[in-house]
Structure 1
Amino acid sequence: MTLPDVVTTVPSLRQRVAAWRQDGERVALVPTMGALHEGHLALARRGREEADRVVVSIFVNPKQFGPAEDFNKYPRAGERDRMLLSGLADLIWAPTVDIMYPAGHATTIEVSGPSAGFEGAMRPGHFAGVATVVSKLFLQVGPDAAIFGEKDWQQLQVVRRMTADLDLPLSIIGHPTVRDEHGLALSSRNAYLSPEQLAVARRLNGILRDLAEDLRRRSVAEALEAARAAVAAAGLGAVDYLAPVEAETLRPLERLDGAVPVRLLAAVRLGSVRLLDNVAVPLP
């Protein structure tokens, strides 16, 4: 397999993409923060299905981390990531912080609507950081399509809203969450979990799937109460949120009427890790 080239400046990136464009090739972008796992590789494979060329960006974005969060210790894999992308990506876009945010950088993009509540409330400024870096990646690469995992459902809706509102000329493609054999959503931060914690974390998705079915049989309040009890019984920690929402707008729902698609969002703590997951709720 051929290792993808790595570019670190905007002119060199645009030169490579322009050459593909001259040949009439479509380009897909897979934005990542590195420390790649099978979930990221699935996004790269999806990019190959959607386009002739695949660019994977690797950039740990300081603007989406809060002051007390794990920016400095966030896993970084370097050459290992490049090896994993062999045969999957044509190019790795790996800017430094100084390239992405040069001296004097003063522009931030904020998206209302789907950014409110949930992660937006738990991590003030997070989605402004996401929207700013993603918009820059779109403008730097100029892709025909960008691939995002559905694991970060709220982020996906924020990116979709931003792309539509700014009339950005690309399609946003959501790819189903990739899970391990026990149903745990793959995440770079899973590396922080001990083997014992990993066994506990793997119980979360089953609880969410049970809750999604339970929502069809009884009231939202009753189903959520039972699910919170199941979270505690499983040995998981504090629940930051557990809520059925309109899938696109993320408006919380107090009852399900079958009129709109519903997503069940969850963030649960386990040691130093916040486990994020979501599942579709079958319509009644």
Structure 2
Amino acid sequence: MFRKWLKRIGIGILILFVFLSLLPYAFPLRKFPHFLEQKNYFPESKFIEIDRVWLHYRVFEPSQKSQGSILFIHGFSGSTFSWRKNVKFFQEKGYQVLCIDLPAFGFSDRQVEHWNMSNEQRIKILWQLAEIINPTAKWHLVGHSMGASYVWNMAIYKPEKVEKVLCVGGLPNKFRPYRSAGMSLLLKYPPIKRWIKVIAENFYFNFEKFKELLASAYSKTPEKEDIEGYLAPFQIQGTTDAILSTFENAPTDTLNVSADYQDFAERLQLVWGENDQWVKKSLADAFVQKHSFVPLRVIPQAGHCLMETHAEKFNEILLEFLRKQ
């Protein structure tokens, strides 16, 4: 009798498993344009293919005598749009400004297999673009959240090409061999990826959900143009697949470099929002306690996206840092 019940339970579980595996394919996915067919580009948008990876970038040339070159790199879910309240300010102060969309985000490539080959490959691609824009520049690197790791790894990879490094709401961590075995295994099962795509594209990639997302990141209610600017890149074909691929196939190498924090004393700084709920300020406090030579600037009442919500104060802090001898 007990074995009969076990058999029935086993059959029931198998039927449920098959049903849930097939069910997501009954729901249609939304149709989005290809990233090169998207119509919401900016007037200064440009594209370039480097090592089989298409990058979207924007360049703002200085409106007066050049004071240097700044590279801005966004965080997770961000894009060049994230720096809209900063680029003109620094352009007018005499800086050449380069903003890049990381692959899978913004208007850059959604085919990310070549981007995911290695962390060293990622850093090489970013440096190639920077050196195409200005071969002789020593760059000021500014990265927000996830972008902080990118600019830090760019800095330790080519320290001779770097002037200053500012990490905004993110720590300057060296890329580590990270790939969640459980996550990677789950994402290799197609129905799970299909479920994520169905839920994300049909229920989350919309105005109201992005309003909630930004309200959390901003620590205040976002404006309509803020929501539309963040939402637009998520309405491109292949976005969900590309983002999932960054988890499933994340590179597992570390950069073989000798440069470290002490080598960037006087050239590395952190800036944080006091009310950041996404990356807690306590992480920054712990970092500077360990590395006391790294300054931490805090913007009162600011959340995670402080360069947007408190642009005037952020621009003031960054300009002061860039001009500091």
Shorter chain as denominator, the TM-score bin is: 0.3 to 0.5
- Structure whose residues are more often helix by fraction: 2
Larger Rg: 2
